[in-house]
Amino acid sequence: MDMTQKSCREFVDILSSDTPTPGGGGAAALVGAIGTALGNMVASLTVGKSKYAAVEAEISALKAKCDTLQQELLDQVEADEVNFLPLAKAYAIPKDDPGRDTAVEAGAVQACQVPLKIMALCCQAIDCMAVFAEKGSRLAVSDAGCGATVCKAALQSASLNVFINTKLMKDRPVAEKINATASDMLNTYCPIADKIFESVRKGFGV
Protein backbone atom coordinates (compact mmCIF):
# COMPACT_ATOMS: atom_id res chain seq x y z
CA MET A 1 0.00 0.00 0.00
CA ASP A 2 1.34 3.43 -0.97
CA MET A 3 0.93 5.38 2.25
CA THR A 4 1.53 8.67 0.47
CA GLN A 5 -1.93 8.30 -1.07
CA LYS A 6 -3.47 8.56 2.40
CA SER A 7 -4.60 11.84 3.90
CA CYS A 8 -2.27 13.51 6.40
CA ARG A 9 -4.58 12.48 9.23
CA GLU A 10 -4.78 8.88 8.04
CA PHE A 11 -1.01 8.67 7.71
CA VAL A 12 -0.48 9.97 11.24
CA ASP A 13 -3.14 7.64 12.66
CA ILE A 14 -1.51 4.60 11.02
CA LEU A 15 1.94 5.81 12.09
CA SER A 16 0.78 5.88 15.71
CA SER A 17 -0.64 2.34 15.57
CA ASP A 18 1.08 -0.94 16.38
CA THR A 19 1.77 -1.78 12.73
CA PRO A 20 5.54 -1.95 12.06
CA THR A 21 5.26 0.17 8.91
CA PRO A 22 5.28 2.98 8.24
CA GLY A 23 7.83 3.67 10.91
CA GLY A 24 10.74 5.99 11.43
CA GLY A 25 12.12 5.50 7.92
CA GLY A 26 8.84 6.22 6.18
CA ALA A 27 8.24 9.21 8.42
CA ALA A 28 11.73 10.53 7.67
CA ALA A 29 11.11 10.23 3.94
CA LEU A 30 7.83 12.14 4.16
CA VAL A 31 9.37 14.81 6.36
CA GLY A 32 12.28 15.15 3.95
CA ALA A 33 9.85 15.64 1.05
CA ILE A 34 8.02 18.32 3.04
CA GLY A 35 11.27 20.08 3.89
CA THR A 36 12.39 19.99 0.28
CA ALA A 37 9.03 21.38 -0.84
CA LEU A 38 9.28 24.21 1.68
CA GLY A 39 12.59 25.31 0.24
CA ASN A 40 11.29 24.82 -3.26
CA MET A 41 8.51 27.28 -2.49
CA VAL A 42 11.22 29.93 -2.41
CA ALA A 43 12.28 28.91 -5.90
CA SER A 44 8.70 29.14 -7.14
CA LEU A 45 8.41 32.65 -5.72
CA THR A 46 11.74 33.71 -7.22
CA VAL A 47 11.54 32.47 -10.80
CA GLY A 48 9.93 34.98 -13.11
CA LYS A 49 10.53 37.98 -10.88
CA SER A 50 12.55 40.73 -12.57
CA LYS A 51 14.27 41.54 -9.27
CA TYR A 52 15.92 38.11 -9.36
CA ALA A 53 16.63 37.88 -13.09
CA ALA A 54 20.37 37.50 -12.46
CA VAL A 55 19.85 34.26 -10.54
CA GLU A 56 16.84 32.92 -12.42
CA ALA A 57 18.72 30.26 -14.39
CA GLU A 58 20.41 28.91 -11.27
CA ILE A 59 17.20 28.93 -9.23
CA SER A 60 15.21 27.35 -12.06
CA ALA A 61 17.73 24.50 -12.28
CA LEU A 62 17.56 23.94 -8.53
CA LYS A 63 13.79 24.03 -8.62
CA ALA A 64 13.79 21.25 -11.20
CA LYS A 65 16.20 19.29 -9.04
CA CYS A 66 14.03 19.74 -5.97
CA ASP A 67 10.93 18.69 -7.89
CA THR A 68 12.72 15.40 -8.52
CA LEU A 69 14.01 15.14 -4.94
CA GLN A 70 10.50 15.60 -3.57
CA GLN A 71 9.21 12.72 -5.65
CA GLU A 72 12.17 10.50 -4.83
CA LEU A 73 11.69 11.10 -1.12
CA LEU A 74 7.99 10.31 -1.35
CA ASP A 75 8.87 7.10 -3.19
CA GLN A 76 11.02 6.06 -0.23
CA VAL A 77 8.00 5.86 2.07
CA GLU A 78 6.81 2.71 0.31
CA ALA A 79 10.35 1.53 -0.45
CA ASP A 80 11.20 1.58 3.25
CA GLU A 81 8.23 -0.64 4.01
CA VAL A 82 9.18 -3.11 1.27
CA ASN A 83 12.82 -3.26 2.37
CA PHE A 84 11.90 -3.78 6.01
CA LEU A 85 9.74 -6.84 5.31
CA PRO A 86 12.63 -9.37 5.06
CA LEU A 87 13.88 -8.30 8.48
CA ALA A 88 10.38 -8.49 9.96
CA LYS A 89 10.02 -12.02 8.55
CA ALA A 90 13.44 -12.96 9.93
CA TYR A 91 12.40 -11.87 13.42
CA ALA A 92 9.46 -14.27 13.17
CA ILE A 93 11.74 -17.27 12.57
CA PRO A 94 12.05 -19.42 15.73
CA LYS A 95 15.23 -18.63 17.64
CA ASP A 96 16.36 -22.25 17.53
CA ASP A 97 16.21 -22.29 13.72
CA PRO A 98 19.81 -22.51 12.41
CA GLY A 99 18.98 -20.20 9.51
CA ARG A 100 17.61 -17.39 11.67
CA ASP A 101 20.89 -15.52 12.21
CA THR A 102 21.67 -15.47 8.51
CA ALA A 103 18.18 -14.20 7.70
CA VAL A 104 18.37 -11.46 10.34
CA GLU A 105 21.80 -10.40 9.07
CA ALA A 106 20.63 -10.15 5.47
CA GLY A 107 17.43 -8.41 6.53
CA ALA A 108 19.34 -5.87 8.60
CA VAL A 109 21.63 -5.00 5.71
CA GLN A 110 18.65 -4.57 3.38
CA ALA A 111 16.75 -2.51 5.94
CA CYS A 112 19.62 0.01 6.01
CA GLN A 113 19.51 0.77 2.30
CA VAL A 114 16.42 2.98 2.10
CA PRO A 115 17.27 5.09 5.19
CA LEU A 116 20.72 5.65 3.68
CA LYS A 117 19.10 6.80 0.45
CA ILE A 118 16.76 9.09 2.36
CA MET A 119 19.80 10.61 4.04
CA ALA A 120 21.56 11.16 0.72
CA LEU A 121 18.47 12.81 -0.77
CA CYS A 122 18.13 15.08 2.27
CA CYS A 123 21.77 16.11 1.90
CA GLN A 124 21.11 17.15 -1.69
CA ALA A 125 18.05 19.08 -0.56
CA ILE A 126 20.02 20.92 2.14
CA ASP A 127 22.52 22.02 -0.50
CA CYS A 128 19.61 23.51 -2.43
CA MET A 129 18.25 25.22 0.69
CA ALA A 130 21.57 27.02 1.10
CA VAL A 131 21.19 28.63 -2.32
CA PHE A 132 17.52 29.42 -1.83
CA ALA A 133 18.29 31.11 1.48
CA GLU A 134 21.11 33.15 -0.02
CA LYS A 135 19.69 34.07 -3.42
CA GLY A 136 15.95 33.39 -3.39
CA SER A 137 13.05 35.74 -2.77
CA ARG A 138 13.48 37.65 0.45
CA LEU A 139 9.72 37.44 0.96
CA ALA A 140 10.03 33.68 1.51
CA VAL A 141 13.49 33.35 3.02
CA SER A 142 11.94 31.95 6.20
CA ASP A 143 10.73 28.99 4.15
CA ALA A 144 14.29 28.24 3.07
CA GLY A 145 15.31 28.23 6.74
CA CYS A 146 12.36 26.01 7.60
CA GLY A 147 13.20 23.69 4.74
CA ALA A 148 16.79 23.31 5.92
CA THR A 149 15.68 22.63 9.49
CA VAL A 150 13.05 20.10 8.47
CA CYS A 151 15.46 18.31 6.11
CA LYS A 152 17.99 18.14 8.92
CA ALA A 153 15.39 16.47 11.13
CA ALA A 154 14.66 13.97 8.36
CA LEU A 155 18.38 13.34 7.90
CA GLN A 156 18.87 12.63 11.58
CA SER A 157 15.74 10.51 11.81
CA ALA A 158 16.78 8.36 8.87
CA SER A 159 20.21 7.85 10.43
CA LEU A 160 18.68 6.29 13.53
CA ASN A 161 16.94 3.78 11.28
CA VAL A 162 20.37 2.90 9.92
CA PHE A 163 22.04 2.59 13.31
CA ILE A 164 19.34 0.41 14.88
CA ASN A 165 19.82 -2.09 12.07
CA THR A 166 23.61 -2.07 11.97
CA LYS A 167 23.58 -2.83 15.69
CA LEU A 168 21.97 -6.18 14.83
CA MET A 169 24.68 -7.14 12.38
CA LYS A 170 27.32 -9.69 13.32
CA ASP A 171 29.56 -8.73 10.39
CA ARG A 172 31.02 -5.72 12.17
CA PRO A 173 33.28 -4.51 9.31
CA VAL A 174 30.23 -4.19 7.07
CA ALA A 175 28.23 -2.60 9.87
CA GLU A 176 30.95 -0.06 10.61
CA LYS A 177 31.27 0.81 6.94
CA ILE A 178 27.53 1.55 6.81
CA ASN A 179 27.76 3.51 10.07
CA ALA A 180 30.63 5.55 8.70
CA THR A 181 28.66 6.45 5.58
CA ALA A 182 25.72 7.62 7.66
CA SER A 183 27.91 9.47 10.15
CA ASP A 184 29.77 11.28 7.40
CA MET A 185 26.48 12.64 6.08
CA LEU A 186 25.40 13.71 9.55
CA ASN A 187 28.71 15.36 10.35
CA THR A 188 28.77 17.25 7.07
CA TYR A 189 25.17 18.31 6.60
CA CYS A 190 23.79 18.95 10.09
CA PRO A 191 26.20 21.91 10.49
CA ILE A 192 25.25 23.18 7.02
CA ALA A 193 21.56 23.09 7.94
CA ASP A 194 22.31 24.84 11.24
CA LYS A 195 24.25 27.54 9.41
CA ILE A 196 21.33 28.15 7.06
CA PHE A 197 18.95 28.42 10.00
CA GLU A 198 21.21 30.86 11.83
CA SER A 199 21.75 33.02 8.77
CA VAL A 200 18.00 33.28 8.20
CA ARG A 201 17.29 33.97 11.86
CA LYS A 202 19.96 36.66 12.08
CA GLY A 203 18.52 38.25 8.95
CA PHE A 204 15.45 39.02 11.03
CA GLY A 205 17.61 40.78 13.60
CA VAL A 206 17.04 38.11 16.24
Q: What is the pLDDT of residues 15-62, one digit of tens each?
A: 899 888 888 999 999 999 999 999 999 999 999 999 999 999 999 999
Stretch 82-86: mean pLDDT? 91
- DSSP 8-state code for residue 94: -
Query: What is the model's pLDDT at position 20?
Result: 80
The answer to whether 65 and 173 have CB atoms below 8 angstroms apart is: no
Query: What is the model's pLDDT at position 50?
Result: 96
At residue 199, does pLDDT exceed 80?
yes
Average pLDDT over the chain reads: 95
3-state helix, strand, coil in the chain (%, to 5): 85, 0, 15
Query: What is the model's pLDDT at position 21?
Result: 82
The answer to whether 127 and 135 have CB atoms below 8 angstroms apart is: no
Stretch 70-86: mean pLDDT? 94
Report yes or no on whether pTM surpasses 0.85.
yes
- Residues 6+ positions from 107 with CB-CB distance below 8 Å: 86, 87, 88, 89, 90, 91
Share of the chain above pLDDT 90, in %: 89
Stretch 116-124: mean pLDDT? 98
Q: Please tell me the distance from the alpha carbon of residue 108 to that of residue 90, in angstroms, as a whole number.
A: 9
At residue 183, does pLDDT exceed 90?
yes
At residue 4, does pLDDT exceed 90?
no
The count of residues in the chain is 206
Going by CATH, does the domain composed of 22-203 fall within 1.20.120.680? yes
- pLDDT tens-digit readout, 95-113: 999 999 999 999 999 999 9
At residue 5, does pLDDT exceed 90?
no
Parse the chain into domains and list their residue ranges: 22-203
Query: What is the model's pLDDT at position 19?
Result: 84
Report whether the peptide linkage leading into residue 191 is cis, meaning its omega lies within 30 degrees of zero: no
- pLDDT tens-digit readout, 123-154: 999 999 999 999 999 999 999 999 999 999 99
Query: What is the model's pLDDT at position 110?
Result: 95
At residue 1, does pLDDT exceed 70?
no
